[in-house]
Structure 1
Amino acid sequence: MADDEIDYNIVFPDAGTSERHWQGTKEPVVILLGWAGCRDKHLSKYSSIYNEQGCVTIRYTVPLKTVFISESFGYKEMARTALKLLEILSDYEVENSPIFFHIFSNGGFMLYRYIVELLQSDEQFGSLRVVGAVVDSAPGGVNVRGALRALAANLGPRVSPAVRYVLLALFAVAVFLLRVMLYRVTKYVHKNHYDAVQERPPTWPHFYLYSKADRMVRHTDIEVFVEALKQKGVAGDTLDFVSSPHVCHFQHFPEQYALKCRDFLVACMKDLEGAETKKRHRVQNE
């Protein structure tokens, strides 16, 4: 459905499916954040992984101009979007359910960065229980070549070669100046998503799905990022699909992909149940 300010889709499972999978506990709410240029019909294929598991799903993709223009030039437009997305939880009265994220590429991870910051600093979201996050083909550090490939893919054949060349050239110059040459200064005004989340990481576990064949996000960026978070005590598992292109792991390995996502969600929910049981016992013994 469409909100007055942001376009999103929310799907509720039937009661029988939820009860079968979650046996009387609150079913998780899975928030899927699409990659730049992602169409909802593609994102819905991923949400079906969780709908079949009896989960509520919310799908949202940041507009292209926000990813490639607003964020590149330091306009924190996504921060407002992050707030609106979290407010949807109370609008549908699911704010007391466990929250799980599934994030795609840098386009989704940029928005996730602002959601994490809100969850860390805004008191109105202090009661939300995030249990984990799957991260597909992200995060990538500063990579001008990869960013150009992503933009070129999203411009598509409808854009004339001359206009395409001009847009790519302007984008390359802007990214190189603001995110490479001048980043030592500009980071104090607007830090990139890769550095921001690495410096103040969320505490819940993450599962990173990537591939050495990815030509837009370097696999080494993801591996370095995961290791840096592990050193800060943040759990992070990884799965290298080796041969699949950027955000195409599900397309190439559908059964393995879906199984790994579901298994990780179930493990996160068991961790939550165990933590809440320990908390109840501690309160009873006080």
Structure 2
Amino acid sequence: MAADDIDYNIVFPDAGTSERHWQGTKEPVVILLGWAGCKDKHLSKYSSIYNDKGCVTIRYTAPLKTVFISETFGYKELSGTALKLLEILYDYEVENSPVFFHVFSNGGFMLYRYIVELLHSDQQFSSLRVLGVVVDSAPGSGNVRGALRALTATLGPRISPALKYVLLALFAVSVFLLRIVLYPVTKFIHKNHYDAVRERPPAWPHFLLYSRADQVIRHRDIELFAEAVAKKGVPVHSCDFASSAHVCHFRDFPEQYTRKCRDFLVACMKDSEGPEAKKRQHVQNLSLPYRICVQIK
């Protein structure tokens, strides 16, 4: 298989569950892209939201070095990973099924960026039917403090304090110089994930799940991103959970989170089967407001 050298997991639902939920139509394939340092046992809890709904799920989390090192220094290693992930659809002969994404934090969104670019430009994937995307706790831009918090949490307690501080210092200097001070120049060589998707977003609907209590990704970054892509005609919905920490919305609000994700998937499926799906390709220059809901704990 083309994707044998990346560590992914794929789960197929039983035929009865699929038929009960999708009644003869092709069940969606949901691709979940984990946050930096995410363990598969954690990502599998999210995939169960969709497995129990009769969906095929593919789980993948990019290695730490590609998120914190390769992307920081402009090496597009994740572009090759994005290609392999899309080729999985052909390996398992589900390329004719509707595709849905669920993306977590900047670590997942960096990879999603390259998938979007391939779907924009590669003829091989022009026939794929993407329904929409749920984005959890992303995207963020130019937040050195948040990036350091994310790296600190990812490194965990096993690494020695001295080595941890050295790595954090090197990372902070690199991010500050390459992604903030020199970014007006370096963006012509390697644009960051935030700007790349904001400036050329895909046409399918986006559902942004975030929280004002997030200490890693600034809520204002997400809101500005939503406003920008909505102005380009992309349907955008947002939900502020208000009190949950970074990528902890499901942990704190499991029932609401599950319901919102499933309802959005079903709405995207219905939309893709109607005439609006054909029209969506022609609305890039329209200006549509995005919708916000606020979850009160």
Q: TM-score by structure 2 length? A: 0.92
Task: Give the partner amino acid of 2:253.
Answer: F
Which residue is 1:182 aligned to? Answer: 182
Map 1:77-96; keep pairs closer than 5 Å.
77-96=77-96
In structure 1, the gaps of 5 or more residues are: 280-286
**Equivalent residue of 1:5, what SS?**
coil
Q: Does 1:50 align with 2:50?
A: yes
Query: What per-residue deviation string (whole Å, max 9, x for no partner) do you get for residues 186-217 of structure 1?
Result: 10110000000011100000100000000000
Which residue is 1:282 aligned to? Answer: none
Which residue is 2:221 aligned to? Answer: 221
Verify the 8 A CA contact 2:250 2:258 in the aligned structure 1: yes
**Equivalent residue of 2:273, what SS?**
helix
Task: Give the partner amino acid of 2:249.
Answer: H
RMSD of aligned Cα (Å): 1.5
Which residue is 1:140 aligned to? Answer: 140
Which residue is 1:26 aligned to? Answer: 26
How far 1:158 sits from its partner (Å)? 1.0
How far 1:159 sits from its partner (Å)? 1.1
C-alpha change, 1:79 and 1:3, in structure 2 (3 Å) is closer
Task: Give the partner amino acid of 1:118.
Answer: L
C-alpha change, 1:103 and 1:277, in structure 2 (3 Å) is closer
Q: Does 1:265 align with 2:272?
A: no
Q: Distance in 2 between matches of 1:104 and 1:127?
A: 25
Which residue is 2:252 aligned to? Answer: 252
Query: What per-residue deviation string (whole Å, max 9, x for no partner) do you get for residues 118-144 of structure 1?
Result: 000000000000010000000001100
Indicate the larger mover: 1-10 or 172-181: 1-10
Where in structure 1 do 4 or more consecutive aligned residues deviate above 4 Å?
276-279
How far 1:3 sits from its partner (Å)? 4.8
Which residue is 1:156 aligned to? Answer: 156
Which residue is 2:284 aligned to? Answer: none
How far 1:4 sits from its partner (Å)? 2.6
- How many residues end up aligned between the 2 structures? 279
Q: TM-score by structure 1 length? A: 0.95
Q: Distance in 2 between matches of 1:73 and 1:134?
A: 27
Q: Distance in 2 between matches of 1:226 and 1:3?
A: 32
Q: Distance in 2 between matches of 1:236 and 1:13?
A: 29
Task: Give the partner amino acid of 1:43.
Answer: L
How far 1:277 sits from its partner (Å)? 9.2
From the two aligned structures, give the one with the greater helix fraction.
Answer: 1
Which residue is 2:203 aligned to? Answer: 203
Which residue is 1:194 aligned to? Answer: 194
Task: Give the partner amino acid of 1:121.
Answer: S
Map 1:95-134; keep pairs closer than 5 Å.
95-134=95-134
